[in-house]
Amino acid sequence: MRTIIEPFRIKMTEPLGITTAVERKKKLKAAHYNVFLIDAEHVTIDLLTDSGTGAMSAQQWAAMMVGDESYAGSKSWHRFNDTVQDITGLKHIFPTHQGRAAERILAATRLKPGQIVPNNSHFDTTRANIEYVGAVAFDLPCPRSRDLYSSVPFKGDMDVAKLEQLIKDKGARNIPFGMITVTNNTGGGQPVSMKNIADVKRVLKKHKIPLVIDCCRFAENAYFIQRHEKGYANKSLLQIAQEMFSYADAATMSAKKDGLANIGGFLACNNDEWAEHFRNLLILTEGFPTYGGLAGRDLEAIAVGLYEALDADYQHYRHATVGYIAARMIKLGIPIVQPPGGHAVFIDAAGFCPHLKADQFPGIGLTNALYLEGGVRAVELGSVMFGRRDAKTKVEIAAPNELVRVYTQSHFDYVIEVLAQIYKDRKKIPGHRIVRQPPFLRHFTAHFAPH
């Protein structure tokens, strides 16, 4: 059959927030034109993020019921630990309440002011945690990523030549570790090839610099490798993930992505001395090492979710959904980053609103227009989120991932209809200015005003 159906059926429903245009206008104004500040009950289709917003499976809920809430050494901890070790092969595993907690512990224990961390592209929380301790987050995206519209695969790769140059210029002793983010969320959700991970590792190893993988979307990345990289078509997603992790000395994870859970994460490493420092700070700020920042039932849900994310049918359906949305947008002439990533479709907001300059924040204009037109919540991923360092970034996220277990095709058809309407009237989308902003991660709480 040609139709790719949802590989699940639905047992429970939740009503959507249906609002009128007049109500949405009022809500957006009250939220200072920042969709993060709108209450979820006033959003019809919530595509703000895939982070922790997915639907769990019956197996995950069942596992939660047997969650062992013992403070130390619970059965749920062992199940979690065994699962993460099976997939990553890493020796020390520390549960954290989410990805940024793992990043904070890594940054606080391994970095000193002025030191440098290269990455294909840092996610905003990774960058913020590195900068918070006075270190420098350095992005080294591959040259292919600059052309938003080219469909070449693996545009999430790191520029290996630039990595070598950076090490030469700054000195290996000023680079306590290098990172690679799979998939490259900031770079349009683009995957990283196995070859690139191996090349990055080779360069870092030559200089005795450990490699940390930000593995939030490791299963999605494994799917791209299986589909598009020579030699992997007959390997399972688990085998591919294990090979990816074989290059890692440590990993940070948000289980709210490819853990398919509503909360959670982990920090993992091989080095015993690193582990000792991680453990000490974990106890101080997250919890005892066998639960970190999580309940036993969360550890269970993640242990099941990590394997479910590696399920071939699930990944196939998820990628087909994103591909379907992307194809419909392309047909309408909407400028999107190509090829589409695995967890989202990214709209080139500057291309969508050519009448707006970068300092008029076209991404905010487009996000707000989506809400006003149809109660659709998306997120700006550009000059507001990364503005201080990278004012030219100009993409906009549109339709996130685990949400493919939350929303169905007709919901996405509705989103396309809303977008089509906005695209027709795009010249009316106003520019915005910032009225108030915090010093870190400003996109979450900044206030805007339309021009």
Ligand X SMILES: Cc1ncc(COP(=O)(O)O)c(C=O)c1O
Q: Nearer Cβ to ligand X, position 364 or 379?
A: 379
- Please name which of 290, 234, 230, 298 lies closest in space to residue 260, comparing C-alpha atoms: 298
* Helix spans in 38-88 (H): 58-65, 75-88
Residues 41-60 that bind ligand X (CB under 6 A): 51
Q: Nearer Cβ to ligand X, position 79 or 100?
A: 100
Please, what is the minimum distance in Å from the beta carbon of residue 416 to ligand X? Answer: 24
Interaction of residue 315 with ligand X, rule CB under 6 A: no
Interaction of residue 254 with ligand X, rule CB under 6 A: yes
Please, what is the minimum distance in Å from the beta carbon of residue 50 to ligand X? Answer: 8
Please, what is the minimum distance in Å from the beta carbon of residue 189 to ligand X? Answer: 9
Residue 327, CA atoms < 13 Å, CB-side half-sphere: 6
Q: Nearer Cβ to ligand X, position 51 or 383?
A: 51
Contact 375, 23 (CB under 8 A): no
Residues 212-251 that bind ligand X (CB under 6 A): 214, 216
373 CB contacts (<8 Å, ≥6 apart)?
Answer: 21, 418, 421, 422
Cα angle: 113, vertex 132, 448; to 5 degrees: 140
Assign 426 to helix, strand or coil: helix
- Please name which of 397, 438, 433, 388 lies closest in space to residue 415, comparing C-alpha atoms: 397
* CA 111 to mean position of chain CA atoms: 23
Please, what is the minimum distance in Å from the beta carbon of residue 185 to ligand X? Answer: 4
Other C-beta atoms closer than 10 Å to the C-beta of 435 total 12
401 CB contacts (<8 Å, ≥6 apart)?
Answer: 50, 54, 217, 220, 257, 318, 322, 342, 343, 344
Q: Nearer Cβ to ligand X, position 136 or 416?
A: 136
Please, what is the minimum distance in Å from the beta carbon of residue 152 to ligand X? Answer: 21
Q: Nearer Cβ to ligand X, position 83 or 181?
A: 181
Q: Nearer Cβ to ligand X, position 63 or 263?
A: 263
The pairing of beta strand 346-348 with beta strand 394-397: antiparallel
Residue selected from 24, 79, 92, 256 as contacting ligand X according to rule CB under 6 A? 256
Residues 171-190 that bind ligand X (CB under 6 A): 181, 185
Q: Nearer Cβ to ligand X, position 27 or 256?
A: 256
Please, what is the minimum distance in Å from the beta carbon of residue 105 to ligand X? Answer: 12
297 CB contacts (<8 Å, ≥6 apart)?
Answer: 63, 64, 65, 67, 69, 76
Interaction of residue 404 with ligand X, rule CB under 6 A: no
Please, what is the minimum distance in Å from the beta carbon of residue 97 to ligand X? Answer: 8
As given in the structure block, the two tokens for residue 169 are 């210029």
Count residues near ligand X (CB under 6 A).
Answer: 14
Residues 89-148 that bind ligand X (CB under 6 A): 98-100, 123, 125-126
Please, what is the minimum distance in Å from the beta carbon of residue 266 to ligand X? Answer: 10
Residues 264-283 that bind ligand X (CB under 6 A): 265
- Please name which of 118, 209, 197 lies closest in space to residue 163, comparing C-alpha atoms: 118
Contact 74, 323 (CB under 8 A): no
Binding site for ligand X (CB under 6 A): 51, 98-100, 123, 125-126, 181, 185, 214, 216, 254, 256, 265
